[in-house]
Amino acid sequence: MPGRDHVRSLFDWLAPNYDAALLTFSLAQDLRWKSVLLRKLNPRAGERALDLACGTGLLYDRLARRLGPRAVVGLDVNRRMLASARRAGTVRQFVRADAVRLPFRPATFDLVTAGYLFKYVPLDQLARELRRVLRPGGRCGGYDFSAPLRETVAGRTYDRFLHDVLPQVARHWGRGDEGWAALMEFLGLITSTSGWETRIEPELRRAGFDLVELVPSLGGAITWVWARLPDGETAALDSPVASVPPALKRTGPERPLEPRSGRGPAG
């Protein structure tokens, strides 16, 4: 896991250009990924949501359009990323804090989202905090870059794209600013070595989530994570993995992750 200072200086540097860089380097796929996230989580009128690692507020804005700005809180550890989000003007509630030490009371949110956070944080702490701030039946969803599955053609292709093509594109895009190539090299390295995608499921189950789905996409280039808490407060924090039921099912990201209580359609 990269040091916090490294991550902080990375996003200090990136903040003013983050939105354009994300669009370019994800080949505009990120717009679609955020839509998939919202479709799957299916926010409903009356629900409260927390967007972890909200960055410049790209996902926050979409959540706020669905639920209303008062129902959504954006949280990020980086002052400059939050400053960019505030400048965008559409957002209302931002908090600067660490995703693994959330300044909220237990059972505050129905939904938690996290875009590109998992590779940066201790997953055991994150899972416990998710469990704590979500209401019974609460659901969370997120995605991040993950190690390509080299046994697949898509995975091998993406691996080359990540390690060979992207740093070159970044060099060109940055017009001589070596920071861009360094950023892409860092992302390539952390993506292939973090291993978050193999560690997160047991941590979520240990924390008490009883439905956890991991869905790799684009040859493993990104992995989706979906999780839901049981309706009652049944599983204790730190309960052993073996005591938690195995995955209930593995649905695709297109199928909404319904709250247990099965409330009415989206508002």
Q: Residues interacting with ligand SAM, by CB under 6 A?
A: 7, 11, 22, 53-55, 58-59, 76-78, 81, 98-100, 115-117, 120-121
- Complex with ligand SAM: residue 13 or 258, whichever CB lies closer: 13
- Complex with ligand SAM: residue 149 or 190, whichever CB lies closer: 190
Query: Least distance to ligand SAM from the beta carbon of 92, Å?
Result: 17
Query: Least distance to ligand SAM from the beta carbon of 49, Å?
Result: 13
Using DSSP, state whether 94 is helix, strand or coil. strand
- Complex with ligand SAM: residue 81 or 204, whichever CB lies closer: 81
Other CB atoms within a 10 A radius of the CB of residue 265 amount to: 8
Report the C-alpha gap between 142 and 213 in whole angstroms: 11
Query: Least distance to ligand SAM from the beta carbon of 121, Å?
Result: 5
- Complex with ligand SAM: residue 11 or 158, whichever CB lies closer: 11
Report the C-alpha gap between 202 and 149 in whole angstroms: 20
The helix or strand, by DSSP H or E, that contains position 112, with its residue range, turns out to be strand 109-115
Query: Least distance to ligand SAM from the beta carbon of 134, Å?
Result: 17
- Complex with ligand SAM: residue 99 or 149, whichever CB lies closer: 99
Query: Least distance to ligand SAM from the beta carbon of 42, Å?
Result: 18
Other CB atoms within a 10 A radius of the CB of residue 24 amount to: 15
Q: Among the residues of the chain, which ranges form H helices?
A: 4-14, 18-25, 29-41, 58-67, 79-88, 123-133, 153-160, 166-173, 178-193, 196-207
